[in-house]
Structure 1
Amino acid sequence: MISANKHFAKSALLLFSVLLSGMVLFSSCKKEITGSESVVTDSTSTANNAINDTAWLYAQEIYLWYNYLPSSFDPQSYSDPNAVMEAIRAYSAEQGFSDPVDKWSFAIKQTEWDNVSSGISGDFGLGIFFNAAYDLRVSYVEPASPAATAGIKRSWRIVSVDGNETINTEDATIDRISTAVYSSSSTAFLFRRPDGTDTSITLTAATYTAEPFLLDTVYTAGSKKVGYMVYNSFLGDVDAVKNQFSTLFSNFSSQGINDLIVDLRYNSGGYVELQNELANYLVPVAGNNSVMLTEEFNDKYSRYYDTTIYYAKKGSLDLSRIFFITATNTASASELLINSLKPYMDVKLIGRDTYGKPVGYFGIPDGDWYIFPVSFRSVNKNGEGNYFDGMAPDAIVNDGLEKEWGDVTEDCLGSVLYYISNGVFSNIASRSASDVLINSGNKQLGVNRFNGAVTNRRFPGIE
């Protein structure tokens, strides 16, 4: 299997250094933990060992499953704090699950995180997803990226990568393709367009700003007006994204939409703050001032951090139901949004099971790194939130990767529009043996994007 941060970290190395916008993190490196232990700096240790030691001491305090961490753990046996964070995942025992549930604790260089968290990318701007075990498609294209400049579109099939025509869901193949797509400075592709013609394109990585909003429009389904938005990430410049939300929902309201479809199929999360903002536009008026979610920390830090967030209704939409299009890589803040709205609306999911990440973290500075040990779980008003195995859709529908965004004949969008007009979903698919390969492959491809629910916090004692 591919490490859950391998290509994410490698692709970050391609980026130019830029200032973080939209999130205030932490700059000090002096640490003192006010819980049951204190961090003692060993002046004789190497800088790397000191950073690893600090990462381990923080994990013993703030990690959600700290009580399962063994006293025999040796942080100095690991190459860097990211390796320490990956190692502690093995001890994330959760009732009802036989395997460790944490796949996400990680560490990253502060300069790299500054780029990623503010939406600055340095790759080709190409998302890829398996349509079938031997059919790899372009799932989305970032509008300001090299891929967009080259004219590449969602739905194009990848025939070869750097002359290699082997396309399948085997680990070695996915690793090779992921490296070529997300971690290389230049890669040659052979694409097949929907009309059957082939085109060879060599892409060169460049710095660009990712665009969270890939499409918004309004359709007519029967007698109803239906809003549709493709929202691809909860990262980016927080203030800018909030302004886009305001404009978007003002437009939906002015057009008098009766239903709304939110397409989150490749949205793997980001800032909880932006999830909260979007939820406030979506919740019905009756939910105003009611509980949106509660963040629950371990018993050492619940008195510092346990937080209940309440809805503060924004905009004039007052819908009784909402449709979410989901896929294997719908994760974290996206799932948090769905879960937070369930007590207040008729929430319907169309597509495939979501990823399954009901937990989150915040960045803790450690030398020139940030460490992100999983630190809290989120539950909704009803105390629901243990969806480590994902959320099942109301209608199983294949990802219509053969069609571009907004095409009403695309399987998922078409299914929802049909439901709104006729009361039943169309394009229903069945679960098959091939789904295991496809889902596994797409989850591995998904590690190349940041996966998380990140909140702004200060660890007690950091000066």
Structure 2
Amino acid sequence: MKKNILRLLIPVLVLNLIVAGGCKKSKLSTSDGDNTDNTNIPGTGTRDQLTKDSIFLYAKEAYYWYASLPDYATFKPRNFSSNDAELYALTQYSNNPATGKPYEYVAGETYPKYSFFYTEESSGAVSALKADLNETATDYGFAVMYNTLTDLRVTYVYPGSPAALQGLTRGCRITAINGRSGSSISYDASPYGSGTNLSFVESAIFGTNATISITYINLSGQTKSVVISRSTYTLDPILYTTTYTIGDKKVGYLVFNSFTNNVTSRLKSIFSDFQSKGVTELVVDLRYNGGGYVNTAIDLINLIAPVSQNNNVMFTTYYNNNLQSLTTLAKRKASILVNQPLPDENGHLQNYTGGANGKYVTYADLNYSSTSSDNIERFSTSGSLAPSRVYFIVTGSTASASELTINSLKPVMDVKLIGETTYGKPVGFFPIHIDDFDMYIPEFETKNQVGTGGYYSGLTVDRSGYEDLDKAWGDSTEALLAYALGYTKNGVFSATKKVNNSVSSEGKARLSAEDHSQMERLLDRNRFKGMVATPVWK
């Protein structure tokens, strides 16, 4: 059952309650019986010191790669200048043997690939957690990407958002922002410049300013100047849907931008419409979908999967050995997770005197075993669409719950990936509340019914290509969509497109593949990427 993560937080928890379990002089037991000696952890300290201790101790028990972390005396959490610095350090101990780098390494950056802190005052990608998971957002409601060095385009606009009300749509070319235009808003990240322009554009669009002034050229060639005011609106992650007739086949097309907790009923309605129109193949456009709720991903998977898979394994969730070892009441009582309440769907404490806490249900009371039915998701198909093939349009912005959806369907039906290698996030998290913030660190990994997972470098595509940023949603000539429709018609991917992917449709040179990936990462870092579990106490 889905829960609003932001409403699950229990604000009445005081710091002393959280750190009491984290900083008591005890030993953190591990599954192999080798305990980590924590008797040298100070029992007192300032609020900041105790918070830093808790960050370390929660990671030491719950972090998916906990075994790579040093002990308290070696790590010295209180020596870090900030919580962010500590979190980054914690995430850089693990080693991905495929790359020789930490699993959370991001080239040229000093932030982790997956982990973060969330508060109501968070900005950038962290603030996007609220919008990308729940029903409302408070921002301008659009995003951008460079089509060429001098061609800044709108990638998507949320329906009903402030940007939508001012006429912005996908494909609009932005020619001026807050009085700056021309070369002063061109792409200038390394090796093209100092990054000053990019920082300006990023701050203006994704920052916290109340308004933004924009001049743009729409897809009809009209130039408009508007002022967009930040405001709160209901977020609709379904950006576009239509059907195509290709020979004697019907193809359904869905642009889906986030696995929010308010979208399942609409998805069911769309798939019912596809079924009534005789759709036999499906194109699911996840090019900007960074993830969201696992439960919503499950709903989408069940709408697509063949009915023959009913009751078969969809995917299995794997936690670390520490969490899997919490098999007795004594071990659960010793777990630091005894300080993390597991609320019901309305955000209320659940009474449970027989649990680890002795008062209410906590995360220490869950069964983390990979063989538990709680951690084995099975297909339960809904609807009667049953497409013979599904194409997923993906980019480096496609992450987490999106990748879970793709990976779960791959073993059970004909799946084709079009675009660019995905982000690479086979891990997910639940929130750990410390002081006045929530810590999100990878606590589990998922693998499909044949045991495939571990796509930390992303899912590779069957047909690579750049998207056409100057084409509207649903334009059948847009490069990535055209590849899918072409395959439906001919049974193979076309070798080339009418316009070569090395240039834009206007004939201007694109960024190199490497520079394009960097640009995509820099501008997309303002979006949440995650796979959030919402455990239910049974």
TM-score (norm 1): 0.87
Q: Which residue in 1 is equivalent to 2:55?
A: 55
Please, which runs of 5 or more residues in structure 2 have no aligned partner? 30-35, 105-112, 190-194, 326-366, 503-509
Q: Secondary structure at the match of 2:139?
A: coil
| Inter-partner Cα distance in structure 1 for 2:263 and 2:457 | 30
Change (3 A) 1:78 1:191: farther
Q: Which residue in 2 is equivalent to 1:5?
A: none
* 2:297 maps to 1:297: no
Offset from partner CA, 1:170-196 (integer Å, 9 cap, x none): 044333221110112222223233344
| Inter-partner Cα distance in structure 1 for 2:85 and 2:266 | 37
- Range with bigger deviation, 285-294 or 27-36: 27-36
Q: Which residue in 1 is equivalent to 2:439?
A: 371
Q: Map 1:180-195 to 2 at 5 A.
A: 180-183=204-207, 184-195=209-220
Change (3 A) 1:129 1:38: farther
| Inter-partner Cα distance in structure 2 for 1:291 and 1:24 | 31
* 2:525 maps to 1:440: no
| Inter-partner Cα distance in structure 2 for 1:458 and 1:42 | 35
Offset from partner CA, 1:278-332 (integer Å, 9 cap, x none): 1111111121111111111111113442322111111112223211111120111
**Counterpart among 126, 139, 144 of residue 142 in structure 2:** 126
Q: Secondary structure at the match of 2:185?
A: coil
Q: Secondary structure at the match of 2:416?
A: strand
1:25–1:456: 8 Å Cα contact kept in structure 2?
no
**Counterpart among 109, 133, 153 of residue 119 in structure 2:** 109
Q: Which residue in 2 is equivalent to 1:6?
A: none
* 2:199 maps to 1:175: yes
Q: Map 1:71-90 to 2 at 5 A.
A: 71=71, 72-78=74-80, 80-90=82-92
Change (3 A) 1:52 1:446: same
Q: Which residue in 1 is equivalent to 2:303?
A: 281
**CA RMSD of superposed structures (Å):** 2.6
- Range with bigger deviation, 177-186 or 262-271: 177-186
2:103 maps to a residue whose letter is V
1:169–1:441: 8 Å Cα contact kept in structure 2?
no
Q: Map 1:157-168 to 2 at 5 A.
A: 157-164=173-180, 165-168=184-187
2:280–2:388: 8 Å Cα contact kept in structure 1?
no
Change (3 A) 1:205 1:26: closer
Q: Which residue in 1 is equivalent to 2:284?
A: 262
1:76 maps to a residue whose letter is R
2:197 maps to a residue whose letter is T
Alignment length, in residue pairs? 437
Offset from partner CA, 1:95-148 (integer Å, 9 cap, x none): 212222211111111576784431422211111122234322100001121100
Q: Map 1:330-409 to 2 at 5 A.
A: 330-409=398-477
| Inter-partner Cα distance in structure 1 for 2:69 and 2:38 | 17
| Inter-partner Cα distance in structure 1 for 2:309 and 2:63 | 32
Q: Secondary structure at the match of 2:424?
A: coil
1:128–1:140: 8 Å Cα contact kept in structure 2?
yes
| Inter-partner Cα distance in structure 2 for 1:286 and 1:410 | 34
The alignment-based identity, stated in percent, is 36
1:54–1:366: 8 Å Cα contact kept in structure 2?
yes
Rg bigger for which structure?
2
Change (3 A) 1:421 1:65: same
Change (3 A) 1:139 1:61: same
Q: Which residue in 2 is equivalent to 1:45?
A: 45
Offset from partner CA, 1:55-74 (integer Å, 9 cap, x none): 11101111111122233223
Offset from partner CA, 1:409-440 (integer Å, 9 cap, x none): 22222221122112233455668971111111
Please state how far the C-alpha of 1:391 moved relative to its aligned partner: 1.5
Please state how far the C-alpha of 1:400 moved relative to its aligned partner: 1.7
Change (3 A) 1:21 1:68: closer
* 2:93 maps to 1:91: yes
Change (3 A) 1:152 1:257: same
Change (3 A) 1:387 1:169: farther
2:267 maps to a residue whose letter is F
| Inter-partner Cα distance in structure 2 for 1:63 and 1:289 | 31
Please state how far the C-alpha of 1:217 moved relative to its aligned partner: 1.6
TM-score (norm 2): 0.76
1:126–1:147: 8 Å Cα contact kept in structure 2?
yes
Please state how far the C-alpha of 1:35 moved relative to its aligned partner: 4.8
Q: Secondary structure at the match of 1:296?
A: strand
Q: Secondary structure at the match of 2:263?
A: helix
Q: Which residue in 2 is equivalent to 1:415?
A: 483
Please state how far the C-alpha of 1:24 moved relative to its aligned partner: 5.9
1:45 maps to a residue whose letter is G
Q: Which residue in 2 is equivalent to 1:203?
A: 228
1:107 maps to a residue whose letter is F
Q: Which residue in 2 is equivalent to 1:25?
A: 8
Please state how far the C-alpha of 1:371 moved relative to its aligned partner: 0.5
| Inter-partner Cα distance in structure 2 for 1:38 and 1:314 | 50
1:109–1:370: 8 Å Cα contact kept in structure 2?
yes
Change (3 A) 1:422 1:458: closer
- Range with bigger deviation, 327-336 or 390-399: 390-399
| Inter-partner Cα distance in structure 1 for 2:28 and 2:6 | 26
- Range with bigger deviation, 144-153 or 206-215: 206-215
Offset from partner CA, 1:355-406 (integer Å, 9 cap, x none): 1111111101112211011111111112111211112211112212111111
2:288–2:395: 8 Å Cα contact kept in structure 1?
yes
| Inter-partner Cα distance in structure 1 for 2:118 and 2:81 | 13
Offset from partner CA, 1:205-244 (integer Å, 9 cap, x none): 1112221111122111111111111110012xx2x31211
- Range with bigger deviation, 418-427 or 241-250: 418-427
| Inter-partner Cα distance in structure 1 for 2:103 and 2:320 | 16
- Range with bigger deviation, 255-264 or 110-119: 110-119
Q: Which residue in 2 is equivalent to 1:10?
A: none
Please, which runs of 5 or more residues in structure 1 have no aligned partner? 1-19
| Inter-partner Cα distance in structure 2 for 1:172 and 1:383 | 45
Q: Which residue in 1 is equivalent to 2:507?
A: none
